[in-house]
Structure formats: structure tokens, C-alpha cells
Structure 1
Amino acid sequence: MRQLADTARDLVAASHPLPVLAVTSVAAGLAAGSGHGTGGMVTVTAAVLAGQLSVGWLNDLADAGRDARTGRAGKPVAEGRLGVPLMRAAVVAAALAAVVLSLLAGPLAAAAHILALVSAWAYDLGLKATRWSVVPYAVSFGLLPAFVVLALPGQPVPPWWLVTAGAVLGCAAHFVNALPDLADDAAVGVRGLPHRLGAARSRAAAAVLVLAATGLLVLGPPGALSDVRLLALPAAVLTVGTGLLLGRRPGSRAAFHAVLLVAVMNVALLVSAGVPAG
């Protein structure tokens, strides 16, 4: 029993739990804001959770050699606490579950989510080390809200501002997520776009992108601006500014957490205003 508990704990750690929970929460919030019933919300949320687990586990599996060489802590595969065969089985099981659950949401919704997952898996398997490393983030984050809206009855067209905001926010997340590990990644040959731009320009890019996403979500929805939506932009500026400032410390993920916090703020806006299709 103790061994099973330890394995379960290590599987959670290897999945990158914070991003998994954040993206799954965003999907659940979007599902609520777009008018899904209980069944639709459960299907969409479960599909996204399974997909994110597959992405997180594949990332840890693909990076195990690099993590071992750089001595990164908290990496169960690199540290030998989880075997490679077990991790491969976990990745395949989560991926199959994500595909099956996506198909339950309808063919167009499934196509959007599966393409988002293929993009994320491609990042794990090599695109992260190229100048195109930001592309999977733009594709996957942009398709996430499209999946949620397309899963509605009648498969309505996702609003352009929602898909664009998701893509832009995904690009911002890529830059801030890479910042704490630039030196370790460069030492093992990972040269994604943030590594090529450097820390200072990557922080600037992240700030511009996340605020652009907030602007789209504040100004994009139809109707008069509420007080909450009017306050969202200055709140986002303050949050991102603080996160980027704290994120200058070596090893800090404050900037990434700030982007996730702004994403949660944006989801709250969507839940309150709804996500009309068209």
C-alpha cells in the first residue's frame, strides 16, 4: 500500500500539477460561461484533464535525460523513482482517454482538442528546442476555447476574440514558463525562442502578450463594459508587473504564476459575461 501511495504521489509530481490544474480549471470555467449543462461540463473538463496529464507526463519522460544531467529536483523519472515503461503506459492511457472523451463532445470539438494535443505533444517531443517553440502554445491554447464552444449543442462557431485571446495568452505562458530554466536548458542544448531572445526580451514579450490577451477579453465581448471589465485591465497590469519584477530572481516562477492568475481573472470575466458564439 505504501508503495502504491508513493507511486501515485510521484505520478502527480511528474504531471506538472500546477499547469494541469490551471488549464483544466480554465476549461471548466469556459464550459460554465458558454452555457454547457452538467454533462457537457463533465465531458469537456475530463477530456482536458486527461489530455493535460498526457502532455505533462510526456514532457517529464522526454526530458528525463536532460533533467538528470542538470540535477533538477522534483523530477521522479530523472531521479529513478518512476520507471520509463510505467510512464509510457501512463502517457498512452491518458492520451487514449482524452481522445475518447473528446469524441463524446462531437466530431468538430474532438478535432479541435485532438489537434491541440498533437501540437502539445510535438512541443514535448522536440519543438521546444527550436525557434518555433512558441507555435505549439499558440495553437494549443487557441484551440482550447474552440473545443469548449464547439462541444455545445449545434456546434456554434467560436468567437474570434476568444480564440485569439487564448492563443496570445498561450504565447505569454511559454515565455514566462521558460524564464527560470533558461540557463539549465541552454546547457543541454534546448534553444527555443525564449532562449534565443534572452531573459530581458522574453519578460518584455510576456508582459505585452498577456496584457494583449486581457485587452481582447475585456473589449472583445459584445455589449457595454461593466465596472468589473473596466477594472480588469489595470488589475492585470499590476499583477503582471509584480510577477515580472519578482520573476527576475534566479529560479523564480513568479512571472508564470502571475500569468496564470491573470488567466483565472479572465475566466471569471468569461463566466460572468458568457461566451456568445458567432
Structure 2
Amino acid sequence: MTGTPGALARGLLLAAHPGPALAVTALSGLLAMAQGLEPAQVALVLAAVLAGQLSVGWSNDLVDVSRDRRTGRPDKPLATGAVSLGVVRGACIAAVVLCVVLSLALGVAAGLVHLVCVASAWTYNLGLKSTAWSWAPYAVSFGGLPAVVSLVDGQLPPWWWPVGAALLGVAAHLLNVLPDLDDDAATGVRGLPHRLGRPYVAPVAATVLVAASAVVLVGAGAPLAVSAAIGAVVLALAVVVVAGSGRVPFVSAVAIALGDAMLLVVAR
């Protein structure tokens, strides 16, 4: 294992799944600003969510290290030896402690809901990923995030925030697993996407994304002309998700998800 500080830091960062971690953290910050929280509260939300996401990412690689070694994953620092189990385990423990402290600093209600979201994500890592219920942690964790932000302000979120976010979470699960279906199958992972089969994952993900868009548009009460225009774009992208080839379906699905996320934030 390379022992230079730079290599160690890079390995630790990659083991945390930085892309998803930063995306969820950024979404929480946008929701917090849409809720009208004070800057200090927004910063605290960001810190708590980031700590939770880091713990989820590191725990995922710790649980999957044997599987990743068997499949020869070059993108997994624990599998390649770029970082040690001890270092990642220590970082994960520290992230859990920080997550608990920072979450409770948001307030008891908001903090407990956030800890439920993080615990839900951990259940995926610890076994639900290999069952037909693999989608449930994504629905719970994404759906609960808007409630965390609203409860910091002493309010419950509008109904379409958690419903739309939960649907986005399910779609994220389907799309996130799609590139790894073959490696997962080789190591005995059989979550919902694996049971659906590769030909059906993209169509189901597209359907869920369209449903999320419909929920957000209805909840936001957008003018009919605006809703019709957005709906037409979403449906066109959904067709591309199902019928496209190469990376085009994935990019189209991400475009729908980003659009839904932005609607979730701005149409409060």
C-alpha cells in the first residue's frame, strides 16, 4: 500500500463515494436555503449530512471489500490496497460520532429523523442490497431528507417534498446499480435491479422518474403551460432512457433527476 499522505488522502476520499456524498449534501443545502434557514443552520445541515454520507460511503466499501477484491475492482481503494482497512474503519467511526453530534445539534426531531435516514442507508450496506427490498433504504433516506430540513425550522415539509424525494431515491438506486450488474451477479448480490434484469432496469427507472416529476409538478402548483412544457421534456427524456444506447440513457435519466431535484428546491 502506498504510504504517502497524498495517496492515503486520495484513497480515503475515493472510498467515501465522493460523488453521491457531495450530491446528497448539496441537495440538503439547497433544500435548507429554500426553507429559509439561517446561514448557521444551513452550515450545520451541510455538516451533519456530509458526516452521515461519509459514514455510509466508507461503511459500504468496508462491507464490500472481499467482494471488490474478488471482482478486481480497480476503482476501490480498499480492494487495491491504496488505503488500509484500519484507516477507513477509523474514519468511518469518526464520521458516525460526528454525524450523531451534529444531527442532534439540529434539534431533537430533525436530528432523530436524520439519524434514521443514515441508519436506513446503512441497512442497505449491511444486507438489504441483496434482497428485493434494496430500493427501500433509498426511498426512506431520500424521502426523509426534506423532513430533516423542515424540522430544523419547526415545520413539517409539504407532502410532495418527501414523496418526490423518495421516488428520486428509488430511481437513483436503479441507475446507480446498472453499471455494476455483472460484477454484483458474480458475487451473489440480487437486489431489485438484478431481479428485474438489465433490459427492464432503465424502463422502470424512467417510469419512477416520470412519477417523481408528476408529484413535484402537482405539489408545486405550477401554471398549466409550465407543467405541460416540463412534462413534455420529461416524457421525451424518458423515451430516450428506454430506447437509447450507450451512455445516452444514463445521461438522459440524470437530466430528469436533476430537473426534478431543482423543482423540489425552487417550487416551495
**TM-score normalised per structure 2:** 0.92
Structure 1 residues 126 and 257, CA gap change in structure 2 (3 angstroms): farther
Which residue matches 2:48? Answer: 47
More helix by share: 2
Which residue matches 2:129? Answer: 128
Gaps of 5+ in 2: none
1:106 counterpart = 2:107:
yes
Q: Which amino acid aligns with 1:185?
A: D
Query: CA shift at 1:232, angstroms?
Result: 2.9
Provide the identity percentage.
Answer: 44
Which residue matches 2:256? Answer: 262
Which residue matches 1:232? Answer: 230
Structure 1 residues 120 and 265, CA gap change in structure 2 (3 angstroms): same
1:16-49 per-residue CA deviation (whole Å, 9 max, x = no partner) reads 1211111111111111111111111111111111
RMSD, aligned CA: 2.0
- Higher RCO, 1 or 2 (CA under 8 Å, sep at least 6)? 1
Gaps of 5+ in 1: none
CA distance in 1, matches of 2:212, 2:260: 9
Query: CA shift at 1:106, angstroms?
Result: 0.8
Q: Which amino acid aligns with 2:229?
A: L
CA distance in 1, matches of 2:6, 2:235: 42
1:171-223 per-residue CA deviation (whole Å, 9 max, x = no partner) reads 1111111111111101111011111110122211101101111111111124x
CA distance in 2, matches of 1:82, 1:163: 37
Query: CA shift at 1:228, angstroms?
Result: 5.2
Q: Which amino acid aligns with 1:225?
A: P
Which residue matches 2:188? Answer: 189
Superposition pairs for residues 1-278 of structure 1, below 5 Å?
3-152=4-153, 155-222=154-221, 224-225=222-223, 229-245=227-243, 248-249=245-246, 255=249, 258-274=252-268
Structure 1 residues 5 and 182, CA gap change in structure 2 (3 angstroms): same
Q: Secondary structure at the match of 1:206?
A: helix
Structure 1 residues 63 and 256, CA gap change in structure 2 (3 angstroms): farther
In 2, are the aligned partners of 1:33 and 1:270 still within 8 Å (CA)? no
How many residues align structurally?
266
1:237-259 per-residue CA deviation (whole Å, 9 max, x = no partner) reads 3444445555x54xx5x655544
Query: CA shift at 1:12, angstroms?
Result: 1.5
